[in-house]
Structure 1
Amino acid sequence: MKIVVCVKHVPDASGERGFGDDLTLDRDVDGLLSELDEYAVEQALRVAESADVDAEVVALTIGPDDAAAAIKRSLQMGATSGIHVVDDALHGTDAIGTSTVLAAAVRKAGADLVVCGMSSTDGAMGVVPAMLAERLGWPAATYAGRLDVADGHATVVREDDTARLTVEVDLPAVVSVTDQSGEARYPSMKGILAAKKKPVLEWGLDDLGLGSDDVGLDAAWTGVVGAEPRPAKGAGRVVTDADGSGSAAVLEFLAAGRYV
């Protein structure tokens, strides 16, 4: 069995983030593997390590050269190999275009199961797994809190505040997992050293049978219409309580801001 895990290199949330002149996300900043995709890698590795499945795990990403860091982290965690789709024409591609590229790459890779995080930490749309399944013509089982694979089926358990839903789909299939699916492992020193020897393929649009008209900013169905920096945080209000009026001032502040 071949499990493809879709991973994304995103700007570090603890650093400065912003938009470029064309209102696309500025990716020329420090980045890392999306935290929510770490759970997808973890679940794929657990499936591969289970007694019922003999599988390899392939980390797949789309993006510029720096996006290779997402594959590197996945390999350090234990993935078998990586695929990096890199092409200048991909700049500005939206979720619809991303699903097109991922579907072509999954077909070329010959996957039996695709595992995704429930969302990316930069776009936070959560729509790509369903779009990918639709393009592949495969069943989708999304927002899984637990994933099991056996006998040509994937079984997921989805929980919310009121119910627990168990869904079984035939393989091949697309599954997205939540941050409740199981804590992602930290790479060991052995895993970090082993990752250096694992193969990573680089594919362009030509390798996937796609053209520049299929992707990029001009082909995007969605886009950012405006962006402006968040205003600087203002100074707080200091209330002295020498005459015992402090509590009244606090209540006035809370009422004015409709905090109560």
Structure 2
Amino acid sequence: MLALELHQFATVPEGVRGVEVPEPHQPGKGEILARLAYASINPAELLLVEGRYASRPELPVRLGIEGSAVVEAVGEDVESVRPGDLVMSLLRTNWTERLLLQQGQFVKLPEGFDARMAAMLKVNPATAQLMLSEFVNLQPGEWVLQNAANSAVGVLVIQLAKQRGLRTINLVRRSSLETELKALGADVVLTDSENLPEQVREIVGSGALRLALDAVAGPAVEQLAAGLDTGGTVLNYGLLSGQPCHISPNQLVFR
């Protein structure tokens, strides 16, 4: 069967090869065999291929952080799924035609669930949820500031924040995105500008803005920090600019 492996750190797709690998054996006790339906391409994977991720695995290595698959066969003692069920794989090696999964390495999805959406379910929703819940004890009515608001994580942040009674200020590069994001629940949509911190403070007024989410890095970190309350938190989770995070000592020491 065909699998995609990283053979050298290089620009996409030069470092990735399609290789023939042995078919997995029939599922044993506590295992299932599933055929890949869809696999997403996560930004973290692109960084890994280019050698810019935080860790460098030994090569060659199979890729694929996310994937959805249809169960073909189940082994002994597997009662949670049956052939034909859709599952989300929890492995990080999903870019292959078939997957042999042990119990605990997959999640059964409801009947009729979109297999394409299932292939994007593991990383981005969890990222958005954890950023809103694990770093700052936000209360209903508080504000959250984020850049790259039209990204996959950004639109999830908007929707999850709205469910929790939080208000969002969302930074984008194109004003044409405002209608789309407000339909999802965005409170404010701004385009990046030099006077962004002043705009943000005017919007927040006497309200609380203690969390900013950064997917860009580079100078964008300083821009977000300048709009926060004293003692606020900038949480970086991306590297869209390709640059390290830039922030002045003034922001860190005096605020």
Q: TM-score, normalised by structure 2?
A: 0.29
Normalising by structure 1, what TM-score? 0.28
Q: Compare the two structures and name the one with the higher helix fraction.
A: 1
Relative contact order: is structure 1 or structure 2 higher (C-alpha 8 Å, sep ≥ 6)?
Answer: 1
